[in-house]
Amino acid sequence: MAAALHLQTHPCFHGTYQLSPPPRPSVSFTSSSRSFPSNRRYLSAHVKAAASSSSTTTLQEGIAEFYDESSGIWEDIWGEHMHHGYYDPGSDVSGSDHRAAQIRMIEESLRFAGISKDPANSPKKIVDVGCGIGGSSRYLARKYGAKCQGITLSPVQAERANALANAQGLADQVCFEVADALNQPFPDDQFDLVWSMESGEHMPDKPKFVKELVRVAAPGGTIIVVTWCHRDLGPSEESLQPWEQKLLNRICDAYYLPEWCSTSDYVKLFQSLSLQDIKAGDWTENVAPFWPAVIGSALTWKGFTSLLRSGLKTIKGALVMPLMIEGFQKGVIKFAIIACRKPAE
């Protein structure tokens, strides 16, 4: 099964570039936001082309099985939020409250996107795209007194998400369905807030993913995407360096990820759909302590024995964690936030 899931990463190299060390991209995102003028530049080819539909099905089955197998052990050790914590750059995180950092990640994302706390203007209908076991959904529903739908490919996650909602008295505010982010089962223009927290990296067709996010957003609604990207390409580059691509391929294999794109690819997609107030941020420095902490938890007695009991997919995912650290340290992997608003009618 694992062999069948080695994905074609659909390389689009037009020759290798003999640059060393890896070039610094000329458009670098600082941790402060930058507003983008609405220009219609087109995406590089590797993002435009979508995966074939049968490889998409295989990918989706892999994702569902990975999370069916792994969600329990993650929740056991890390709790209900399946995303990075947000830390002050360069801070000492030994003894840190990582769960508090995960909450902070949600709050910083809302702040970045300028979501109003004023009850008259706060979101009432929210969709959590790639909801995991529903941590964000429940948090946002509780925070805003809103109604939240969560969608996931994993039936195990949807069931657990519902059980947690029931246990937390949120059963009338949140609900979860097994559904595909690339074909969301909702009519157009539904949601005041469209939330995608660390799910974008699983989407094999980024243009379609973004199109669906925009379709289901209500006029005047906000879209927030927090996701892993690769570094932006320099002006003379058509692709990443071969060593960078190789690193990403190994991570893709273990985490059921399709081809990566860059933060500016997302920005261009939103621009092409005429979204407004597009902002992007680079939060790589703010999540740097997270992976060492996850590795630390895997090396505790509880973590280690849980892994041994979990399954091959989870173990494989665990073994690849140092590659994430390498990717962050070498500037290949970026942790990005992109926020924008759908024009009001």
Partner 1 sequence: MRLLTHNMLSSNIKGVTKGFPLKIEVEKVVEKQVEINHDFLRNIFPKIDWKAFSDAARTMGYVELPEQAPDPSVLESDLDFLTKFHHALLELHLEEGALVCPETGRKFPVNKGIPNMLLHEDEV
Choosing from 67, 87, 176, 335, the residue that interacts with partner 1 (CB under 8 A) is: 176
Query: Three-state DSSP class for 221?
Result: strand
Hey, which residues between 34 and 63 contact partner 1 (CB under 8 A)? 53-54, 56-57, 60
Pairing of strands 276-282, 191-197: unpaired
User: How many whole angstroms separate alpha carbon 33 and alpha carbon 39?
Assistant: 18
Write down the least CB distance from residue 121 to partner 1, Å. Answer: 14
Choosing from 19, 171, 299, 308, the residue that interacts with partner 1 (CB under 8 A) is: 171
Tallying the residues shown for the chain, one arrives at 345
* Token representation of residue 345: 């009618």
Choosing from 20, 42, 90, 172, the residue that interacts with partner 1 (CB under 8 A) is: 172
Q: How far is CA 72 from CA 132, 163, 193, 239, in A?
A: 11, 13, 28, 37
Hey, which residues between 128 and 147 contact partner 1 (CB under 8 A)? 147
Binding footprint of partner 1, residue count (CB under 8 A): 30
Under the binding rule (CB under 8 A), the answer on residue 158 touching partner 1 is yes
Under the binding rule (CB under 8 A), the answer on residue 155 touching partner 1 is yes
Q: Which is nearer to partner 1, 191 or 255 (CB)?
A: 191
Choosing from 184, 222, 262, 286, the residue that interacts with partner 1 (CB under 8 A) is: 184
* Token representation of residue 311: 């399954």
CB atoms near residue 208 (< 10 Å): 16
Write down the least CB distance from residue 177 to partner 1, Å. Answer: 5
User: How many whole angstroms separate alpha carbon 60 and alpha carbon 55?
Assistant: 9
Q: Which is nearer to partner 1, 110 or 146 (CB)?
A: 146
Under the binding rule (CB under 8 A), the answer on residue 238 touching partner 1 is no
Please list, in sequence order, all residues whose beta carbon lies within 8 angstroms of the beta carbon of residue 241, skipping any fewer than 6 positions away: 16, 17, 19, 22
Write down the least CB distance from residue 115 to partner 1, Å. Answer: 19
Closest Cα to residue 63, out of 311, 256, 316?
256
User: How many whole angstroms separate alpha carbon 176 and alpha carbon 160?
Assistant: 10
Choosing from 11, 89, 114, 185, the residue that interacts with partner 1 (CB under 8 A) is: 185
Choosing from 149, 239, 241, 271, the residue that interacts with partner 1 (CB under 8 A) is: 149
Choosing from 10, 186, 249, 330, the residue that interacts with partner 1 (CB under 8 A) is: 186
* Token representation of residue 76: 């056991």
User: How many whole angstroms separate alpha carbon 273 and alpha carbon 214?
Assistant: 8
User: How many whole angstroms separate alpha carbon 317 and alpha carbon 338?
Assistant: 26
Please list, in sequence order, all residues whose beta carbon lies within 8 angstroms of the beta carbon of residue 97, skipping any fewer than 6 positions away: none
Hey, which residues between 190 and 229 contact partner 1 (CB under 8 A)? 190
CB atoms near residue 163 (< 10 Å): 14
Contact region for partner 1 (CB under 8 A) — 21-29, 157-165, 304-312, 321-329?
157-165
Per-residue string for binding with partner 1, 92-131, x by CB under 8 A? Answer: --------------------------------xx------
Q: Which spans of this chain sit near partner 1 (rule: CB under 8 A)?
A: 53-54, 56-57, 60, 124-125, 147, 149, 151, 153, 155, 158-159, 162, 171-172, 175-180, 182-187, 190
